[in-house]
Amino acid sequence: MTGRSPHPFRGVAIAGVCNTVQARALPDHDSTSIALVGALGALDDAGIAPHEVDGVVGTDCAQIALELGLGPCTRRPSSLGIPALLDAAALITTGQCDVVLVAAGGAGVHSDRASTAPWTRPANELVVGYGLFTAAEFALMARRHMLTYGTTPEQMATAAAVIRTNGHLNPDAVYSGRGPFSPADILASRMIADPFHLLDCATTSEGGCAIVVTKAERAGARQAPVWILGGASDAFGPAYVVAPVWDFQPRADSFPAGLVGARAAGIAFAMAGLAPGDVDVAELYDPFSFEIIRQLEAFGFCGPGEGGPFVEDGNIGPAGALPVTTDGGTMSFSHPGINAQQLQRVIRATQQLRGSCASCQVDGAEVALCSNGGSGALFCDVLLLGRERP
């Protein structure tokens, strides 16, 4: 091992994870209380007592520190999803913390059912008057892909059918047992924002979740540790503030916004010393069916314009070359707001590497990729997890 520096996350492990019950509505909870259920569940999964937590990461970290009586502890209030995991890992590698809790929940937020969920329709001045919301934002990106590469509604529907059928098979999914789905079922659902039908879109639901990240020596009490092999984030600007333009390219020597996540994937794979072909399962963030096709290309699983045929050829099913979003994702498993559902991709990847999934377990999965965000939101995060310590 002479001359080779250790992996930056060699000393960090994912020690515990938890998804609370997920449902269309959890009337006995608000976002904090369901996040706390997740936090205690993840600590139990890790075999670590709450008072051992010395850092909390995420937008609600101060409230969680208060409610669990963790003060004084380290806070990182600015991040959510995969960046929260990377911040938690950095707190450990820099010696600031030994046990970091990342928890999130969403409940009681979407009460006006005549409108779409509040997190889908931020009222920014250049978009609000045109009735823009997340489905339309991602549709404007999808249209460019259709025009450039000939990507079809059937190919997008195939991605949605695979993920929704994964959710149908998952006993913990909000829409468990509602399938199976064929691409024709997706295309027969009512149009929301062309080319997206209702079943091309994420659902909305309520639930909580949490992840416990520790020093390597603290993991393994109850579960085999899962390791962070690589991770990074890309952004082009704030989500839902300006027009989502596929070929918006501020840096002349780089790539356009339509490929957001390509740089992050490159960094993550380089950190891991791996290539896309090494990934056994991809827990991709699935706000809309098209985004699966786009991410497959941006992350290098196939070439530009090949995402539609890649999906159509059966590669992303549970028995395919690259099983995708195996819990049913935001389309079927759960979509409880702007935070928890991003962490849930990491939780599912952890469960895949532990071999503990009740449905769609990928046999012998050694390397899992997860993602957050997407083109319509102008950001995309990538995380690589593994069963073997880096």
**Which range binds another protein by CB under 8 A, 23-31, 112-120, 153-161, 292-300?**
112-120
Smaller CB separation from another protein, 231 or 376 = 376
- Count of positions on this chain that bind another protein (CB under 8 A): 40
Supply the minimum distance, in Å, between the C-beta of residue 57 and another protein: 30
Name which position in 11, 47, 180, 237 contacts another protein (CB under 8 A): 237
* Closer residue to another protein (CB): 4 or 190: 190
Q: Which stretch binds another protein (CB under 8 A): 26-34, 226-234, 241-249, 297-305?
A: 241-249
Q: Between 117 and 369, name the residue whose CB sits nearer to another protein.
A: 117
Determine which residue in the list 3, 94, 111, 125 makes contact with another protein, applying CB under 8 A. 125
Nearest to 353 by CA among 216, 227, 214: 227
Q: How far is the CB of 83 from another protein (least distance, A)?
A: 23
Q: Does 331 bind another protein (CB under 8 A)?
A: no
Q: Does 141 bind another protein (CB under 8 A)?
A: yes
CA distance 68 to 46: 17
Q: Is 235 in the site for another protein (CB under 8 A)?
A: no
By CB under 8 A, residue 260 contacts another protein? no
Asked if 49 is part of the footprint of another protein (rule: CB under 8 A), the reply reads no
Which among 78-86, 117-125, 165-173, 216-224 is the span making contact with another protein, rule CB under 8 A? 117-125
**Is residue 147 a contact residue for another protein (CB under 8 A)?**
yes
Residue listed under structure tokens 């924002």 = 193
Residues 171-230 that bind another protein (CB under 8 A): 190-196, 198
- Based on CB atoms, which residue is closest to another protein, 3 or 129? 129
Closer to another protein by CB, 238 or 273: give it. 238
When binding is defined by CB under 8 A, the residue of 72, 114, 319, 364 that contacts another protein is 114
Distance in angstroms (rounded) separating the CA atoms of residues 158 and 184 = 9
**Does residue number 255 form part of the binding site for another protein (CB under 8 A)?**
no
> Nearer Cβ to another protein, position 127 or 239?
127
Is the CB of 59 or the CB of 189 nearer to another protein? 189
Backbone angles phi, psi at 273, to 5 degrees: 65, 35
Q: Is 149 in the site for another protein (CB under 8 A)?
A: no
Best CA proximity match to 324, nearest among 358, 362, 357, 353: 362
Cβ-based nearer residue to another protein, 205 or 351: 205
Minimum distance of another protein from residue 251's CB (angstroms):
9
For residue 72, state whether it binds another protein (rule: CB under 8 A). Answer: no
3-state secondary structure string across the chain: CCCCCCCCCCCEEEEEEEECCCECCCCCCCHHHHHHHHHHHHHHHHCCCHHHCCEEECCCHHHHHHHCCCCCCEEECCCCCHHHHHHHHHHHHCCCCCEEEEEEEECCCCCCCCCCCHHHCCCCCCCHHHCCCHHHHHHHHHHHHHHHHCCCHHHHHHHHHHHHHHHHHCCCCCCCCCCCCCHHHHHHCCEEECCEEHHHECCCCEEEEEEEEEEHHHCCCCCCCEEEEEEEEEECCCCCCCCCCCCCCCCCCCCCHHHCCHHHHHHHHHHHCCCHHHCCEEECCCCEHHHHHHHHHHCCCCCCCCHHHHHHCCCCCCCCCCCECCCCHHHHCCCCCCCHHHHHHHHHHHHHHHCCCCCCCCCCCCEEEEEEEEHHHCEEEEEEEECCCC
Q: How far is the CB of 143 from another protein (least distance, A)?
A: 4
Binding residues for another protein (CB under 8 A)? 114-116, 120-121, 123, 125-133, 135-136, 139-141, 143-144, 147, 190-196, 198, 237, 241-246, 248, 250
